[in-house]
Amino acid sequence: MSILILLPAFLAAYIAVTQSPQRALLRIYVPVLLFLPNYYYWILNGLPDPNFNQATILAIAIVWLIKGAPGWRFSLTDILAVGFAFAVSYSEYDNAGFKELKNVSFDIVGSILLPYVLAKSLIEQHGLREELAKQIALVLFFVALLMLPQFITGANYSVWQKVLGRFFDGQGWQWATTYRWGLTRASGPYGHPILAGIILLVGYRLQRWLEWGNYWPKRIKLFAGFSLSPKIISFGILAGAIMTITRGPLMAGAVAATIVMIGKSKQRWLVFISILVLTITISIPLVTWFVDYVSVDRQSLEYGSAQETIVYRWELLEIFVDIGKEKLWWGWGRKGWIHDELPHSIDNYYLLLFLQHGIMGLGFLVAIFTIMITRLFIRGMTQPITNPSGNSFEFALLSAYVVMSLSIATVWLGEQTVPVLFFLVGWTESALRYRSTILHTTTTAPTHHFRFQRILQ
């Protein structure tokens, strides 16, 4: 029954042929990416095993190529995306040979290259910025609603696992419910609560841009006469993020909210300098305190205490960095770094990437975050003040990058967060290069109404 993976792909191909690849991307791929789990595969002997979103975007990409790859233009950001993909690929080949390269290559194409390429080619050029953000917000609102039963009841598995698990021969059950402070951590369709928190907070920042910019009507009409206010959509997505009880993403979300304050202010440079000075002032004594905090003998601390745990992780960091230096450039591959006497789980993707794919893989990812954040900041700071206040798209995207770049210091970049990141990079690149027909940077708010039914047609 795992052939169900192909149903969204066939539907996406049909819409791409009969309407357009961009409509298939918005109406099928985005909901599939955000709503259906990544941990279900169609297992094929001797061939790559696609999941829902990989099969779907591959179908759209084939039609897009047949139609002449409309919207594609080379840019320097392509070097970063392709460079990261190459670093991961070559690392696997260098450490495990062609067989392992074959296994990882389909994931690289379906989760890195195609989301980047199609988002770059099919969104801004067709004036679909607003519609895409609305699609993301609505899908994540319904994801948050379906996370509620797991959070309230403390069920061992999510709604998605209970409904879809029976069709996939035991796949996905490894993602059992986890708990913190006696509360259930909801994970949605993303496997791990931290991944759910990252994606929901990225969506929350886009939804707030829509809300502040008055891009929604006062009542959002959904189906059967049912409607919601934009504030309910925002609250629902934020509530979903809180239900994950993830410290890293929620702290990153707080930092992102501070960044958005700059974009909302009419005195952007004054606010930015004030935040920068405050950050530096706090950071200096904080770093000194942290160094003293972890520079103690772990044996003298109570086992399991907060300080003992942090000191232990600091010791592991030093050990793992030394292991990574042994294969500095291309790393050990996805599994070559594992040592039986050390933990196999590393709660820092930057460190994990350094171990797996060396300074090359880490360097390209850090370059992607640094360059995109810098470009968005410069563009946002140099754009005229918008009215209504707060509808700076550049700062909305910037805050999404802040959420992702800080969050993955506490977890790995896995499951849907990988294609979400590279979709975001492609979208950002086109937004910085092309002027959408619906930028709405004038003082007049849009007057047309958006109906959810239009998306699902």
DSSP per-residue letters across 28-48: IIHHHHHHS-SS-B---TTS-
Question: Is residue 443, in this structure, part of any structural domain at all?
Answer: yes
Question: Is residue 141, in this structure, part of any structural domain at all?
Answer: yes
Q: In the chain, what's the furthest Cα-to-Cα distance? A: 69
Torsion region of 330: left, alpha or beta (phi above 0 gives left; psi -120 to 50 gives alpha): alpha
Average pLDDT, the chain: 88
Number of other CB atoms surrounding residue 46 within 10 Å = 5
pTM, rounded to two decimals: 0.90
Which has the higher per-residue pLDDT, 451 or 200?
A: 200
Q: Which residue bears the tokens 């909302």?
A: 264
Is the distance from CB of 330 to CB of 87 less than 8 angstroms?
yes
Question: Is residue 37, in this structure, part of any structural domain at all?
Answer: no
Nearest alpha-carbon partner for 380 in 278, 281, 271, 252: 271
Q: How far apart are the first and last CA of the chain?
A: 27
User: Kind of pairing, strands 183-185 and 220-223?
Assistant: unpaired
Is the distance from CB of 135 to CB of 30 less than 8 angstroms?
yes
Dist. CA 52–CA 58, nearest whole Å: 10
Domain span at residue 372 reads: 78-148+185-266+297-456
Q: Which residue bears the tokens 């841009």?
A: 209
Dist. CA 23–CA 13, nearest whole Å: 10
Q: Which residues is 30 bridged to in the sheet?
A: none
Q: What is the pLDDT of residues 186-198, one digit of tens each?
A: 999 999 999 999 9
Sorted by sequence, the CB contacts under 8 Å of residue 286 that are 6+ apart come out as none
For residue 387, name the pLDDT band (cuts at 50, 70, 90): low
Q: What CA–CA distances, in Å, run from 99 to 11, 83, 132, 274, 335?
A: 32, 21, 38, 53, 14
Is the distance from CB of 405 to CB of 376 less than 8 angstroms?
no
Nearest alpha-carbon partner for 323 in 350, 362, 356, 345: 356
Residue 184 phi/psi, 5-degree rounding, is -80, 135
**Domain count along the chain:** 1
Q: What is the pLDDT of residues 273-293, one digit of tens each?
A: 998 899 899 888 888 888 878
Q: What is the pLDDT of residues 306-333, one digit of tens each?
A: 677 778 778 878 888 889 999 999 999 8
Give the side-chain half-sphere CA count within 13 A for 134: 22
Nearest alpha-carbon partner for 131 in 202, 60, 55, 206: 206
For residue 388, name the pLDDT band (cuts at 50, 70, 90): low
Dist. CA 243–CA 235, nearest whole Å: 12
Residue 436 phi/psi, 5-degree rounding, is -65, 155
Residue 240 phi/psi, 5-degree rounding, is -60, -40
Question: Is residue 398, in this structure, part of any structural domain at all?
Answer: yes
* pLDDT over 90 (residue 456): no
In this structure, is the dihedral angle defined by the CA atoms of residues 437, 119, 204 and 384, taken in order, positive or negative? negative
Dist. CA 38–CA 221, nearest whole Å: 30
Question: What pLDDT score was predicted for residue 389?
Answer: 60
Question: Is residue 59, in this structure, part of any structural domain at all?
Answer: no
* pLDDT over 50 (residue 438): no
Question: Is residue 68, in this structure, part of any structural domain at all?
Answer: no
Question: Is residue 316, in this structure, part of any structural domain at all?
Answer: yes
Question: Is residue 395, in this structure, part of any structural domain at all?
Answer: yes
Dist. CA 396–CA 56, nearest whole Å: 27
